[in-house]
Structure 1
Amino acid sequence: SMPDLILLDLMMPKIDGFEVCRQLRADFQTNQIPIIMLTAKSDLPDRIKGLQGGANDYLVKPYSNEELLLRVYNVLEWSQNQKNANPLTGFAGNKAIEKELARRIERSEPFAFLYIDIDNFKAYNDYYGYQKGDESILFLADIITEAVNSLGGRGDFVGHIGGDDFVIVTSLERAEFIGRHIIDEFDKGSLILMHEEDIRKGYLEIRNRLGEIKRVPLMSLTIALVLNDGERLKHFAQVSDIASELKKFGKGMTGSVVVRERRKEISEPAEIDSL
């Protein structure tokens, strides 16, 4: 089996580390394995040459075991995140999302979880084609990035579950502002993704499998907002279950909406607010 990481010494008999690194990156079986170069050379040109050749990190001898372990840990974590990232947006994928929620719950950290979903996306995708569908997903990804950068806080997390589903983990006090901002920007900007005639009509005419023409509303957003005070939720699956319940409620409403629950305890019946 292939290694998870390669520690590559620059100075080796018969062949140098630069050439080994080049060969590893040229082979499809090894070109995704992270590489940390070890060298006694601290010259900047050598470090640049190694990084340009495909090394992920550089460690100059002599080094402590603590530094080596930290660099190995960081590179492995980066590599794992890259493997799990969504290929379209580059955002963290499902495993990273679960890990982030589990970490915050384990530490009893208060947090807000926003589950963002495009309403009527399948109809839009069928009507305009997959390329336009991808454009709409990337458009929403850009809005989310801008919203978190401008309104979020240090340590906020953004993930892409897949398709048109995104998540944000942020602070309790920032969540509603972020959600409202995303909706405002999407509702204004998404019009450029549609034909003027469709905008004027306010719906898309979609032919179903029976050959019947159905009128489907234009794209909008449903954002499910789950609030955790640090004590109420005990497992990341609870967050997902509550978000799914809220999303289902929100999709029954007209237009873009942020929905959140009002109950204090999981055992209580669900009470839902639309914001």
Structure 2
Amino acid sequence: MCKKSILIVDDNRLSRKILKDILEKAEYIVYEAENGEEALGIYKKNLPDMVILDIVMPKMSGFDILRILRNDQENLMVPIILLTSKDDFNEKLYGLELGADDYIIKPFNEKEFIIRVKNLFQRIDHNRMANPLTGLRGNLDIKFEIKRRIKKGEPYAVMYIDLDNFKEYNDYYGFARGDKVLTMTAGILSESINLVGNQNDFLGHIGGDDFIIVTTPDKVEDICQYIIKNFDEKIKNLYDEKDRKRGYIEAVGRRGEKNKYPFVSISIAVVTDEYRKFQNELQISEVAAELKRKLKTMKGSKFLKDQRKE
């Protein structure tokens, strides 16, 4: 899975080096900035997962940078730690009022510092997890991740994943059994990016039976094939034996007629920036919606990749 990235902002080179060494030893990706202007530029380009700000800096203080970041609603969930060399209660209170998540006084203990960073990440991640069933990131993080990929200008692919015949399964077997299908799906998707994807691929749960993966174009086919193969094998185990043997479930419709519904299958709509460039996640989702409509006309588990040019 993706390594967390941290931006250190401090005008003191030695302080930055000490922090960088500690964080890299804990396997974080580290960006450095020596002033506010450089920090905001690096932040805009890389969208780090955390920011550590020294308060006292020339021209633009840590408070100024904190205020600018928090004024943008999209940065509200980014954890920010303030560093200071003095234990001033009023200063601490002011920083917390501006939106700082933690306050660390220099010099600090290395082990305590890393524990506080890890705990802050865990708390923020827990707050961001929109789906208690799968534990996967929700819409806020999904939008943030797509925006980050667009801004970086590196090749990306967004995979919109949903289930076919899931409603009928839910109605037939009940919501508890339906939840098992969703957790199984989440597990397969997670396995797919861990085994055949990239280290920094992203997995999110939009809601219901809709999921999303953000990867690179070169990994799309391998990930899709892994998902489809494993889903089709495992979904059969979530049917009763009599339904599994006949290959479908039979339910009575609203008018009293008997209908046959095939096994739940998985559809994957893939949008990449290979052939055209997108300005935001809304444009990407619109293309994905077109692909999903086509996928609904096709039987079984399948994926469809957009290859149209601008």
TM score, norm. by length of structure 1: 0.68
Q: Given the alignment of the two structures, is residue 255 of structure 1 paired with residue 288 of structure 2, yes or no?
A: no
- Write the distance in 2 (CA, Å) between the matches of 1:250 and 1:230: 20
Q: Given the alignment of the two structures, is residue 174 of structure 1 paired with residue 210 of structure 2, yes or no?
A: no
Q: Which of 111, 118, 129 is the equivalent residue of 2:163?
A: 118
Contact 1:108 1:230 in 2 (8 A): no
CA RMSD of aligned residues (A): 2.9
- Write the distance in 2 (CA, Å) between the matches of 1:240 and 1:76: 32
Instruction: List alignment gaps of at least 5 residues for structure 2.
Output: 1-78, 84-100
Please give the per-residue CA displacement for 1:169-225, whole angstroms capped at 9, x wherever unaligned. Answer: 011101111011100000011110001221222221122333332212211111111
Change (3 A) 1:125 1:249: same
Query: Which residue is 2:177 aligned to?
Result: 132
- Write the distance in 1 (CA, Å) between the matches of 2:280 and 2:103: 38
TM score, norm. by length of structure 2: 0.61
TM-superposed CA distance for 1:245, in Å, is 1.2
Range that drifts further, 205-214 or 245-254: 205-214
- Percentage of identical aligned residues: 44
- Write the distance in 1 (CA, Å) between the matches of 2:285 and 2:119: 29
Range that drifts further, 130-139 or 231-240: 231-240
Query: Which residue is 2:195 aligned to?
Result: 150
TM-superposed CA distance for 1:125, in Å, is 0.7
Please give the per-residue CA displacement for 1:229-265, whole angstroms capped at 9, x wherever unaligned. Answer: 3961111111111111111111110111011122111
Which has the larger helix fraction? 2
Within-5 A mapping of 1:24-35: none
- Write the distance in 2 (CA, Å) between the matches of 1:78 and 1:247: 34
Query: Which residue is 1:30 aligned to?
Result: none
Within-5 A mapping of 1:41-56: none
Range that drifts further, 201-210 or 180-189: 201-210
Change (3 A) 1:229 1:155: same
Please give the per-residue CA displacement for 1:121-153, whole angstroms capped at 9, x wherever unaligned. Answer: 000011111111000111111111111111111
Q: Given the alignment of the two structures, is residue 204 of structure 1 paired with residue 234 of structure 2, yes or no?
A: no
Give the 3-state SS of the residue equivalent to 1:173 in structure 2. Answer: helix
Q: Which of 77, 82, 85 is the equivalent residue of 2:126?
A: 82
Query: Which residue is 1:270 aligned to?
Result: none
Q: Where in structure 1 do 4 or more consecutive aligned residues deviate above 4 Å?
A: 56-61, 74-78
- Write the distance in 1 (CA, Å) between the matches of 2:127 and 2:262: 36
